[in-house]
Amino acid sequence: MTEDNRPLAVFDLDGTLADTAHRQRYLERKPRDWDAFFAAAPQDPALARGVELALASAEECEVVYLTGRPERCRADTEEWLARHGLPAGRIWMRRNDDRRPARRTKLEILRGIARKREIRILVDDDELVCEEAKRAGFPVHRADWATPSAPLKDAQEREGRT
């Protein structure tokens, strides 16, 4: 197998490719029910605009995925991507015990990726991730097509969960 040397198109999952609206209720509780939130991920509908952009990006780039989902969700995530016809690609996931803000974990991973490959675009819905990535010099496309969720935004930043 030859290595793909095309530039990378890096896509987030939740709120970019996957519509998490049906599972937001698990984040509105106190305490938040993270196990239920992630267990419901396989039922996420796809976000058409994100899928279209990923498929279009695959014409010139290798599509890869960078998510704040924990590693324990890998099998469900791989199955979800395949079921929705998204390009096969490497998936970077958060360690199960990593609770740092998404903007920190994702930027660290992006910098590591960029040491070996050109990143043509990062597509993410989290405005703080997008701002940090832009400041670091990465080309960013903010995914603004999902319904915003205050509990998810808080979880991404303060609890380091997705």
Q: What is the DSSP string of 100-151?
A: S-HHHHHHHHHHHHHTTS-EEEEEES-HHHHHHHHHTT--EEE---SPP-HH
Other CB atoms within a 10 A radius of the CB of residue 147 amount to 11
pLDDT of residue 152: 65
Provide the CATH number for the domain around residue 136.
3.40.50.1000
User: Are 27 and 152 in contact, with CB atoms under 8 Å apart?
Assistant: yes
3 inside domain: no
Q: How many domains does the chain have?
A: 1
Domain of 128, in residue numbers: 8-159
pLDDT per residue rounded down to tens, the chain (162 residues)? 345 789 999 999 999 999 999 999 998 888 889 899 999 999 999 999 999 999 999 999 999 999 999 999 999 999 999 999 999 999 999 998 888 888 899 999 999 999 999 999 999 999 999 999 999 999 999 999 987 766 666 665 555 555
Order of strands across the sheet with 140-142? 91-94, 62-70, 8-11, 119-124, 140-142
1 inside domain: no
2 inside domain: no
